[in-house]
Amino acid sequence: MASILKAQKANASKADVKGKGKRRADEMDVDADAEGVEVAGVPEKKKKNKQRVLLLSSRGITHRMRHLMNDLEALLPHVKKDSKLDSKSQLNLLPELADLNNCNNTLYFEARRHEDLYMWAAKTPNGPSIKLHVQNVHTMDELKMTGNCLKGSRGLVSFDQAFEETEWGRLTKEVFTQIFGVPSTSRRSKPFIDHILTFSIVDSKIWFRNFQIMEKDPLQPNGPPQTTLVEIGPRFVLTPIRIFEGAFGGATVFSNPGACFPFFLACRSHCPALSGVG
């Protein structure tokens, strides 16, 4: 036992002589400053756009709603589709589901009475989140447009100038840019840009269209290059209802006073006494 202790003391003394022992605090600060100077001379790496979107729906969606979700999944290769959410009242579970799937954005489609469709576009886990009413849904199979695009290709995201005129428009533009903009580092994306997603504000509603970018006229393949747009689909209209500070809840940042719920419109059409209300 004594020989072991002597060997340990000898090794410790050798380490002190060679300078391999524990460093003092002031020496560590000097080294840290020196490392900071060296790092400062190296150019910073370009930040990568790491956006992933969780796509899911509630129970009770119809076939048209399901086909719309399939069209969006085909257009956005960075989407991770999940199973249906059982409870419509426990929306606080969605940020946890997004975290489990390594997603920082969420598109949640909520169906009410098998007729009305609402879309939640949220940044998880800290927000903000936007609740919109989806109307005039037309899927790709229903439209049968002549346009076509490569599956998995990246699309340009275009916004109307009206988005810059209001605060809720600028916030909606930023959220939609991060959700519908496909990053170049996405695993399933193709290195091609052959379609454009357009968002336009008309009558306080957001109109969505998808167009193919054609560089030549198909009727004149040998003619001069001429860029044209051919609609692909799907198409739908979004009516903003509320914008919340957090993810699927929190303080109300914006409330649309002109938004009428479909249930109230149906009651007003059946009851003449409510025709002058709202």
pLDDT of residue 14: 59
pLDDT tens, per residue, the chain with 278 residues = 455 555 666 665 655 544 544 455 444 444 444 444 445 556 666 667 788 999 999 999 999 999 999 999 999 999 999 989 988 788 989 999 999 999 999 999 999 988 899 999 999 989 899 999 999 999 998 888 888 888 889 999 999 999 999 999 999 999 999 999 999 888 888 888 999 999 999 999 999 999 999 888 777 778 788 888 999 989 999 999 999 999 999 999 999 987 766 544 444 444 555 555 44
pLDDT of residue 226: 83
Are the C-beta atoms of residues 208 and 196 closer than 8 Å to each other? Answer: no
Can you give the pLDDT at residue 261?
60
The structure's pTM equals 0.75
**Helix residue spans in 42-80 (DSSP H):** 63-75
What radius of gyration do the chain's Cα atoms show? 28
Residue 246 makes CB contacts below 8 A (sequence gap 6+) with 126, 127, 128, 129
Pairing status of strand 190-202 against strand 153-159: parallel
pLDDT at 138: 94
Question: Residue 31's pLDDT is what?
Answer: 44
What's residue 231's pLDDT? 92
The pLDDT assigned to 272 comes to: 54
Neighbours of 239 (CB within 10 A): 18
Distance CA 106, CA 120 (A): 8
Long-range contacts of 172-178 (CB under 8 A, 24+ apart): 172/130, 172/206, 172/240, 172/243, 173/199, 175/121, 175/122, 175/123, 175/128, 175/130, 176/121, 178/51, 178/105, 178/123
